[in-house]
Chains A and B, each alone.
Chain A
Amino acid sequence: MRIATAFAQQVAINGITDRQSQLLDTQNQLSSGRRVNSPSDDPAAAAEAERLRSRESRLGSEQRAIDQARQMLGSADGALADATDLMQSARESLLAAGNASTGPADRAKYAEQLRQVREQLLSVANRTDGAGGFVFGGQGAVAAPIDASGTVYTPPAGTQLIGQDMANPVALDGRENFTAIRTGSGTESIFAQLDAAIATLSDTNATVAVSTTAARTALSAVDRSLDRFSFTRTMVGERLKAIDAHEQAVATGSIDNQARLADLVDVDFAKTISAMNQHQTALEAAMKSYATISKMSLFDYV
């Protein structure tokens, strides 16, 4: 079998350049740390990597929503704690004012205390959430949700939610918590109830009987509001626990994503380094054999 000299040379040179290019490929993989540097390296892995990247983005958004909901619910819990404290103090004032032995001047003093509590309660109910909204903003408020009379709740009643995989509230309902608290037979506004008591107790001409009744009525309303706040606070607490659990799931999901992504596209260093050594050896062999064989010529002996 004949071999043309020029052809044999070309084949040997091609062999060297092929091995050089193989070596370059493995070097590239090692320096980038990725086995899949472009879709053609592994089309199925590249497509799956894109889907994983997207899932990671979704989880990031979910975590952000979790953070925001947790912050808001924290504010809500704080507001409810403050409202509870205020109602406890209102309770004491009303108990004292409703005592038959309390005189009109003292009753007026308690009425003043109640007035201040009532004012502070209104500002708690209208508290902003520090992010342009209101803690008790319902389905969306652009101004303080409850008016000065404490009986009109302006925004649509309900809660505002965020989050895709899990929906969490970022605003609570001021109507069911303040302006229309359920009684056994309808609803009442805690502010209206307090205002009624304040009016009667401030009136120095009111009789003891009337004052006592007024105080007792208001006390029942205050107790109902305390129940209401407690109920809402429990709900907020449950929510926060559920959010913690969801956050765990999101974090686990993210770790899984990263692991799968690494499996798919990251380079297996051990395997690739050994491949690079192989290619290096092959290249050396090709070069050495070319050098040796190309020196051999009959013309040296003729």
Chain B
Amino acid sequence: MSDLMRIGSSAMNAAYAQLQTTGQNIANASTPGYVRREVVLTEAGSNDSSGYVGRGVDVTAVRRVYDEFLVRESVSSRAAAAQDSARAESLGRLDTLFSDPQSGLGASFDELVAAFTDVTARPTDPAARSTVLTRAETFAARASRLDTQLLEMRDSAQGRMQSEVANANQALQGLAAINRRIDDASGNGGQPNALLDQRDKLLGDLNASLRANATIGSDGTITVTSQRGEPLVVGGTASRLVLNADALDPSKRAVSVVRGNGVTLPMDAGQLGGTLAGLMKFSNDDIDAARAQIGRITASVSGAFNAQQALGLDMSGTPGQPMFSVGAATVSGASTNLGTAQFGVAVVDPKALKASDYEIGFDGTQYSVTRLSDGVVTNFASMPQTFDGLTLSLGSGTPTAEDRFLVRSATAFASGAKSLLTNGQRLATAMPVVTEPGAGNTGDLKVASLDIASIGATTGATVTITFTGPNTFSVNGAGTGNPSGLSYTPGMQLSFNGWSMKLDGAPAAGDTLRVSATPNPAADNRNARVMQALGDGKLADGATVIGRYAEMIGDIGARTQGARSQGDMSQRLYEDAERARTEMSGVNLDEEAARLMQYQQAYQAAAKVIAAANEMFRSLLEAAG
């Protein structure tokens, strides 16, 4: 009897536990991170001699239905999706910055070039001159504004990184606390299912911020490490993540792990994963790539127009002053350097500048210069050296092996871009010399082209070329040495005093050509025409300004497009992993509804068994009197 009672009551217990578990599942069907439970029943066997009937059913455990492998898949694909989505979203904002061609830097450059049309037609017109200067100012202002906007985007991304680090730290603290509670709870026997759910959920949340690997102990506690192996949570102790300035470039950020014992380990940016990695790639790489391209274009334009100003005369006949100035290139040492070296850097050839900053390394004997845009390394045995339009020199001190230095060149130019001329009279529209064939020449000698290489003390000296025959001529004038008996071929170049002209045609004996200082520089437009032609000149490392700008637009578009499609793909992978995980661990309400009915029936049946046992006992009592 008591055996049947026992069987019945154990059955009721079991059915009740199942009903409760089903209820719990239904209640938590939408709770994030909840893993469905099921009751594990085992037959309560007996070893008595009466035929091994059994003693009912035991509720062994309430089990979480989950697969560790599926959890791991979901967690790692979540980190990848978060990383790609963060980068794609950030790049999307960078992309929007360049969405209107009419308000871009290229348009501003073209407007500056276009302003020269009126100056070449009317060099004495003050309005035409001042329009050029206004457009120059607009160009410089747009370049520096663009750089500021890019820096604002970087600041904003770095701010988000700060809060991601805070989120990650919160998750780490939470996991350490969970570990302590799981430890306590498992001392009491049984699985603390809610804590385990919470543990896995925190692990997922952590991976949204950065990629973390986890090992689950047999007691349910979790050990978390970063992808490269730095310990993040060990037992009840959590490490702390810190966002600090990068050692080489303090304007950039790097993540370090501060362990429980105070030791700080820097984390490798390439192995971070999660939203932090996406934001870091954007703020450290993508932003600087854009800034370097804008800076290089700005420096190329500035260099070319300044050089051309210097080769011309302004309205008062003075050689032209620079039209633009750009931010200065600097070299700084990493905060980890041990040596005393201070480097200097200067732009020597704006036409050769690349859209990149540089890193200088020293291994004890030789210097290595890495171009950051493409990673190309050049080694030098000594300083100073000239490369990519820059001259690098060791100013003072000596470097120690492993010291690193950052050359901020291309990213420095745009922020300091300024237009220097305010008075239209200072625009150097004139060339320093004019050429005039003799009035009475009988041949058809002509000057096909005139170029100025430099303006010096003798540039304006009058030089007369006299043809003694159709193929011989002599030169007379200061700075020429007065050569005679020179032979003439059509198309030949003749250069003195900083000018160079191409002679053409068939001169007759007695024909002359006179080179002299430009008498009315205010009305001369020839240098202005050369400046206008800079619009199509190869000012930026073998390409035109617009060519480089268009290249940059395409690059940003491609980067963004690529990041978006990568984001789509990793999002799909994450969804697939979640589908697989929830397939096993998620609650299906219809399934629970069916089970509810099943367990209700079981409960009722078990109740009947008890009633039957009760009935039988009463019968026995009655029979016994």
Contact = CB atoms under 8 A, between A and B. Distances in A.
Interface string B394-412: 0000000000000000000
B440 A298 contact: no
B71 interface: no
Interface in B494-551: 516, 518-526, 529, 532-533, 535-536, 546-547, 549-551
A104 B122 CA distance: 49
Interface string A131-159: 11100010111100000000000111110
Contacts of A176: 439
Contact of A50 (B30, B111, B550, B575): B550
B584 A2 contact: yes
B523 A140 contact: yes
A3 B553 contact: no
B585 A187 contact: no
Contact of A158 (B106, B434, B529, B594): B434
Given A39-B98, A39-B554, A187-B440, A4 B586 contact: yes
A164 B579 contact: no
A57 to B, nearest CB: 4
B561 interface: yes
B379 interface: no
B597 interface: yes
B120 A157 contact: no
Contacts of A132: 122-125
A54 B110 contact: yes
Contacts of A4: 582-583, 585-588
A38 B434 contact: no
Contact of A5 (B104, B575, B587): B587
**Interface of chain B: mostly helix, strand, loop or mixed:** helix
Contacts of B561: 40, 43
A198 interface: no
A186 B440 contact: yes
Q: Which of B113, B588, B594: most chain A CB closer than 10 A?
A: B588
A48 B582 contact: no
Contact of A39 (B110, B522, B553, B591): B553
B382 interface: no
Interface residues of B, number: 79
Contact of B101 (A49, A142, A155): A49
B558 interface: yes
Contacts of B174: none
Nearest to B564: A40
B601 interface: no
B582 A155 contact: no
A41 interface: yes
A50 B106 contact: yes
A260 interface: no
A39 B560 contact: yes
A6 B586 contact: yes
Interface in A1-29: 1-7, 11, 14
A65 interface: yes
Contact of B122 (A53, A61, A131, A299): A131
B564 A58 contact: no
Given A5-B588, A65-B117, A162 B92 contact: no
A299 B533 CA distance: 80
A182 B578 contact: no
A39 B586 contact: no
B99 A38 contact: yes
B556 A61 contact: no
Given A39-B554, A61-B114, A298 B564 contact: no
Contacts of B439: 157, 175-176, 180, 187
Nearest to A139: B434
Interface in A31-57: 37-44, 46-51, 53-54, 57
A11 B575 contact: yes
Given A2-B584, A44-B554, A140-B524, A7 B578 contact: yes
A7 B124 CA distance: 76
Contact of B554 (A43, A155, A182): A43
Contacts of A88: none
Contacts of A133: 122-124, 523
A53 B106 contact: yes
A42 B561 CA distance: 8
14 contacts: A5-B587, A7-B582, A11-B575, A14-B575, A46-B557, A47-B551, A47-B553, A57-B110, A64-B114, A156-B518, A162-B121, A164-B533, A176-B439, A302-B596
Given A38-B557, A43-B553, A299-B593, 4 more contacts: A57-B107, A64-B117, A297-B590, A298-B594
Interface of A: 1-7, 11, 14, 37-44, 46-51, 53-54, 57-58, 60-61, 64-65, 68, 72, 131-133, 137, 139-142, 154-158, 160-162, 164, 170, 175-176, 180, 182, 186-187, 297-299, 302
Closest 7 CB pairs of A and B: A4-B586, A39-B557, A43-B557, A140-B523, A47-B554, A4-B582, A40-B560
